[in-house]
Structure 1
Amino acid sequence: MKKMSMLLAVLSLAPAPALAADYKCNGNRVEKSGSTQYTVRTSGSDITIEKGGGSRGKAVKRGGGYAVEVGGSTQATIENGKILKGGSTWGSVSDAQRVYDCPDIVAATLWVLDQKGQL
């Protein structure tokens, strides 16, 4: 019984395996299970997410952060590792990167678009 308790104690200290992201950036493509789902286009510092040749939304550089826009309307902002909606924290870039294994702004933009039902 004592050995079992020690084993459980040791196992509880072992790091949990990292969860794999559902989506992964590969060049300018966002893939799921090896199949391209979205295309990432850049123009200067702005980033556009496309599917089937049409824009789903984009991240536009503003000051020290980015505004995520859909149809020209700001849905959220990305600043200092946080995703903000209406000035309040809505999520984090690290949360977004757990789902989208992509560069920070791309992952956060995809996350916002997903939350808004735009992907």
Structure 2
Amino acid sequence: MKKLSMLLAVLSLASAPAFAADYKCNGNRVEKGGSTQYTVRTSGSDIAIEKGGGTRGRAVKRGSDYAVEVGGSTQATIENGRIYKGGSTWGSVSEAQRIYDCPDIVAATLWVLEQKGQL
């Protein structure tokens, strides 16, 4: 009986999701616990992250990659699933999506803004 209960406990853990993101995109909103935290605005292929009507930062398309800008200054670039700061790998898009359940560029932009203390 003890072996059966241990087996059931292991199986219940195995079926649990690997992660649960803190934030989730719902349309043009980024929500936490069902409450809107940020708004995502798009203009062509560029993406702006807003809160309270003010822009916190944006991802600007440059060729095949994106530059994440805060106040017009580039803070990071996003390309090939990686986030770069000063030419060195800073993080990954998949890492960002574990926190922000959003499309890749949106999640990566939010992640950069969080790292820079801009959210």
The two structures have a TM-score, normalised by structure 1, of 0.88
Answering whether residue 25 of structure 2 is matched by residue 25 of structure 1, we say: yes
Amino acid at match of 1:31: E
In structure 2, distance between residues paired with 1:15 and 1:23: 22
Secondary structure class of the residue paired with 1:91: strand
Aligned length: 114
Which residue in 1 is equivalent to 2:100?
100
Amino acid at match of 1:76: A
- Aligned-pair distance for 1:33? 0.3
Which residue in 2 is equivalent to 1:45?
45
In structure 2, the CA distance between the partners of 1:38 and 1:17, relative to structure 1 (3 Å rule), is same
In structure 2, distance between residues paired with 1:42 and 1:73: 19
* Alignment deviations for residues 45-80 of structure 1 (CA, whole Å, 9 cap, x no partner): 000000000000000000110000000000000000
Identity of aligned residues (%): 85
* Alignment deviations for residues 80-116 of structure 1 (CA, whole Å, 9 cap, x no partner): 0000000110000000000000000000000000000
Structure 1 stretches of 4+ moved >4 Å: none
Which residue in 2 is equivalent to 1:35?
35
Once the two structures are superposed, the pairs formed by residues 100-119 of structure 1 within 5 Å of their partners are 100-119=100-119
In structure 1, distance between residues paired with 2:16 and 2:93: 21
Which residue in 1 is equivalent to 2:59?
59
- Aligned-pair distance for 1:17? 3.0
Which residue in 2 is equivalent to 1:91?
91
Gaps of 5+ in 1: none
- Aligned-pair distance for 1:15? 6.0
Which residue in 1 is equivalent to 2:68?
68
Amino acid at match of 2:73: S
Amino acid at match of 1:82: R
Gaps of 5+ in 2: none
In structure 2, distance between residues paired with 1:39 and 1:16: 30
